[in-house]
Chain A
Amino acid sequence: MCLAVPAEVIRIADGVATCRLGEGQSLIRASLMLLPDLPSPGDQLMVHAGFALRIMDPAEAEETLRLLRGGECPIEGDATACAAIPGAPANALRKA
């Protein structure tokens, strides 16, 4: 029951977003009452139990993937630890 799902905003009316669920064609409605900022069509929301809880940030997702694919290390300021990991560059430090 505690399953939040990603859903893409299709349209917004009266504080409710109609969203496409995941990769399918199913549509769900999500109240925007719990969001501090209003989303726009095309935004991806994290929806739980009929309410949007967050607008997802694609730039953060891309940054995470870029760092991990570059063999970068999630330890800030610890070049020694990074160097000890096969394939990880010693100067690769994840941003805080």
Chain B
Amino acid sequence: MHQTLLRQFRDPELCHTLLTRLRAELDGELRFMEVCGTHTVAIFQSGLRSLLPPQVVHLSGPGCPVCVTHESEVNAFLDLAGRPGVIVATFGDLMRVPGSRGRNLKSAQAEGARVAVVYSPPDALALARDNPGDTVVFLGVGFETTAPTVAGTVLMAREQGLSNFKVLAFHKLVPPALEVLLSDTEAGIDAFILPGHVSAVIGTEPYGFIASRFGKSATVTGFEPVDILESLLFLAQRRRQGRAEVKNLYRRVVSDTSNPRALEVMNRVFRPCDALWRGLGRIPDSGLEFTDEFEDVDAKRRYGLSIEECPPLPGCKCGEVLRGRLRPDQCPLFKKACTPAKPVGPCMVSTEGSCAAYYKYQVE
């Protein structure tokens, strides 16, 4: 597909037309939550947020993988870092996410831990190949988009006979978290914009319960302004009609069925387990653990890491923000004790975090 075609999804004239149609369609407040951190940034970066009619209330959900990584899981990363013979390999976003005692991987690195930032799981595999005397442990966080890439890398490691590659896996699954959000009436979510690239892996079928059980509408959506406006128009239409439906509006990338190959690889290496989410607590079957076939890759077992649930950071409201109960600028720490230069909570750390987006784009 030519880039000129993709650029048309930013066409200002088409955006203007869609905005006019959206205004005409609204018959009251539409509180929508975008689940994905990339959508959060896209909505701000494109300037859309300031153009949306005031009846459209934008809530940011738990779709930033770094933001939902629980304090206890960060504590496990820190427990691992600094052990003799271990090189921790991680995506850069995790470096400054605080554990329950305020420490992070960057401070562990400053204290002598061997922590390497990589851009992809195969980069961590190359690190293992280059350091045969050490064990490289990749920190596996992220949703159904990332979990297959980590699973694929585990298969590559086995094929290449690299036994010094391990993974500390805290992957999370999106649909169970949506159930928790839908059961929470306090945020008053009317509709969802669902994560486009998670859906590229799982398809749209796993989201059917949003309409059938909870009576809400949702769209699978791309990341350009036209994509987002088309989705809001659809959601407003459904609301006015009193109908609920889950709709795929990102058909150039997502089909209603899953990517079977990606799921096959993911399900060979991982199986569902309960997981801790920052702000949402323990959610049954919302995480992934290694299957018996790959238990030798599991850093949790290899290093006997215990994941003890710890309380949230004092004063941090990231949990409330992730549930849509609180806007970032309503947190008492926002722009005072908590800034991108000195973040208290993960929503300010990650570039995909809603607090960081509010800060960067100076939303009033």
Contact = CB atoms under 8 A, between A and B. Distances in A.
Contact of B37 (A2, A4, A31, A73): A2
B38 A3 contact: yes
Given A46-B200, A56-B252, A2 B145 contact: yes
B5 A58 contact: yes
A4 B27 CA distance: 35
Contacts of A8: 1
A74 B247 contact: yes
Given A53-B201, A74-B234, A33 B152 contact: yes
Interface residues of A, number: 43
Interface stretch (B161-169, B257-265, B282-290, B305-313): B257-265
A4 B259 CA distance: 15
A81 B302 CA distance: 59
Contacts of A46: 197, 200, 253
B87 to A, nearest CB: 18
Interface residues of B, number: 67
A48 B17 contact: no
Contacts of B63: 2
Interface of B: 1-3, 5-6, 8-9, 14, 17-18, 20-21, 24-25, 36-38, 63-66, 91-94, 119-123, 141-143, 145-146, 148-150, 152-153, 155-156, 196-197, 200-201, 226, 230, 233-234, 237-238, 240-241, 247, 249, 251-254, 259-262, 265, 350, 352
Interface of A: 1-4, 6, 8, 22-23, 31, 33-36, 44, 46, 48-51, 53-54, 56-58, 60-65, 68-69, 71, 73-75, 78, 81, 84-88
